[in-house]
Structure 1
Amino acid sequence: MSRRGPLACATVMVGLVASGVWAQEKPKYGYKDTPMLPGGKWHVHDSDRPLPPVITPGTASTQDAPGSAPSDAVVLFDGKDLSHWKSDRGGEAKWDIRDGALVIHPGAGAILSRDEFGDCQLHLEFASPVPPKGADQGRGNSGVMFFGRYEIQVLDCYDNKTYADGHAAAIYGQHPPLVNASRKPGEWQTYDILFTAPRFKDDGTVETPAHATILHNGVAVQNHAELLGPMAFRALPKYRKHGPAGPILLQDHGNPVRFRNIWVRPLNHG
């Protein structure tokens, strides 16, 4: 029996691969002989259906430091500047940045994101002023509004009673949160919100209303809640037709609430 050296063996292997003897075919997965899914575009387990894009997930925040955003997110505030924001009164945003946090400057007015979004996932973190001042709606009050009009309430609700549909994580004036998951004043809190924008018919009537699912500090407090319309104070909301995308608004309600680690992921439906 003859013995071949390493070089000879390597030469034989290269030749076999080149000739296709050892060539590996592309792995096969999925099926084409299965029922068609609704819409008539893809089969169940369709081998031709595009695979989800690969992203890098973000990291979790701690009380001492914010986490990072997913790689496909639009970062609206990373602790450095206000370049992604403008004033609702026109011109540059006039809130303050202190120790990596975006701080409401009372009386400066609301700020709007320069980017606009439709269906999206929003993450933001906020901390109520410490020591706490005021009570009811006058304590750590702000809000985040999709399209500049659909409000999720921001409020210090740690040992602070207020009306249910004005509570922290309420869809303001419409749906109280399922539970009060508020942390103490001064501690960082998180909102993770899945927002589905409303759709309108050509005549301006609502085809499908907006919906929101909210996690407050990791706790589900709104579960695909249907919005009755835009924010309204002491009134019933009423939808008015608008475009498919709009800005994120942070409200100035006169309290120096802090924000950090704000990012948005547009949700595209394939």
Structure 2
Amino acid sequence: MKKPISSLCLLSLLGAYNTVQAQDQPDKKTPESSELWSPEPHIITPGEKPGDMPSDATVLFDGKSLDQWVSIDDTPAKWPVKEGAVTVLPGGKDIRTKKEFGDFQLHIEWRSPATVDPKQTGQGRGNSGIFLQERFEVQVLDSYNNKTYANGQAGSIYKQHIPLVNASRKPGEWQAYDIFFTAPRFNKEGRVISPAYVTLIHNGVLTQNHVALWGPTEYIGLPVYKPYEKGPIRLQDHGNAVSFRNIWIRDL
């Protein structure tokens, strides 16, 4: 008959087991316990100055051709390209990218006409728009000393979010938008489980801070989400000769 293990012996065995376990597990109180070594971020080459394209970006407009674009009726884009910029052809219809995108970072530079017609005010001056996934409009407008409704000025999410500040430059000067877009998510039934989000930097100034979009842009009425997957970038022909250049995008 085996003798029962004494309490002292049992405590010794448990102590030895706990010592081995402690050696196998890192001390949660050490700096190393909160260090993550993987996954390692992908290495890219950033641009040399603000607005320069990083190495992992896709060129949408290189200042030479509209090979990446078509008109909204799927015919060749008719907007004229000159001196590194593409300019809205009034009546030439909106243009959109051939490729579609999900979450992304978009850089685009734009310029309203230098010559201001005194008869043109408000929404009639330097008006265009950048439609994200062809659904959500970031307003382009000459908002330098030009009063209009606040959710329709430059830097607004049109008819939804007022910009934090008006960072507009004078007409005829180049301006820059850096747009960070998170696409909406839908469940199997087509219901929204997460809305679209936009962060906008206008001329180096934060003007939209991770705002939730209520749905696709509507000129009249309230927006309503409908399920979809991806979409192109669309530039608007609003009848004003607004110019664009240095357009690139990064998939996120």
TM-score (norm 2): 0.85
**Match of 2:67, SS?**
coil
Q: Distance in 2 between matches of 1:150 and 1:60?
A: 29
Corresponding residue of 2:12:
none
1:50 maps to 2:39: yes
**Match of 1:116, SS?**
coil
Q: Check the 8 A contact 1:103/1:256 in 2, yes or no.
A: yes
CA deviations on 1:119-153 (whole Å, 9 max, x unpaired) are 10000000000112311101000000111011100
Query: 37, 43, 59: which one pairs with 1:75?
Result: 59
> Structure 2: which amino acid aligns with 1:145?
F
Corresponding residue of 2:202:
216
CA deviations on 1:156-204 (whole Å, 9 max, x unpaired) are 0000000011010100000010110000000000000100000011111
> Offset of 1:33 from its aligned partner?
3.6
1:159 maps to 2:145: yes
> Structure 1: which amino acid aligns with 2:72?
D
Matches within 5 A, 1:110-149: 110-133=94-117, 134-149=120-135
Matches within 5 A, 1:184-203: 184-203=170-189
How many residues are matched? 222
Q: Check the 8 A contact 2:110/2:176 in 1, yes or no.
A: yes
After superposition, the CA RMSD in angstroms is 1.4
> Offset of 1:56 from its aligned partner?
0.9
Q: Check the 8 A contact 1:34/1:45 in 2, yes or no.
A: no
Larger radius of gyration: 2
Q: Could you say if the C-alpha distance between residues 169 and 44 of structure 1 is closer, same or farther in structure 2, counting changes exceeding 3 Å? A: same
> Offset of 1:34 from its aligned partner?
7.3
> Structure 1: which amino acid aligns with 2:237?
D
Corresponding residue of 1:17:
none
Gap runs ≥5 in structure 2: 1-24
Q: Distance in 1 between matches of 2:107 and 2:44?
A: 17
Q: Check the 8 A contact 2:114/2:173 in 1, yes or no.
A: no
**Match of 1:125, SS?**
strand
The more displaced of 87-96 and 153-162 is 87-96
**Percent identity of equivalent pairs:** 54
Q: Check the 8 A contact 1:194/1:214 in 2, yes or no.
A: yes
> Structure 2: which amino acid aligns with 1:88?
I
1:246 maps to 2:238: no
Q: Check the 8 A contact 1:34/1:44 in 2, yes or no.
A: no
Gap runs ≥5 in structure 1: 1-31, 36-42, 62-66
Where has structure 1 moved over 4 Å in runs of 4 or more? none
Q: Distance in 2 between matches of 1:34 and 1:236?
A: 55
CA deviations on 1:191-218 (whole Å, 9 max, x unpaired) are 0010000001111110100000000000
> Offset of 1:89 from its aligned partner?
1.2
Corresponding residue of 1:18:
none
Q: Check the 8 A contact 2:95/2:234 in 1, yes or no.
A: yes
Corresponding residue of 1:169:
155
Query: 87, 92, 110: which one pairs with 1:108?
Result: 92
Query: 225, 241, 250: which one pairs with 1:256?
Result: 241
Q: Could you say if the C-alpha distance between residues 135 and 205 of structure 1 is closer, same or farther in structure 2, counting changes exceeding 3 Å? A: same
Q: Check the 8 A contact 2:56/2:250 in 1, yes or no.
A: yes
Q: Distance in 2 between matches of 1:173 and 1:45?
A: 45
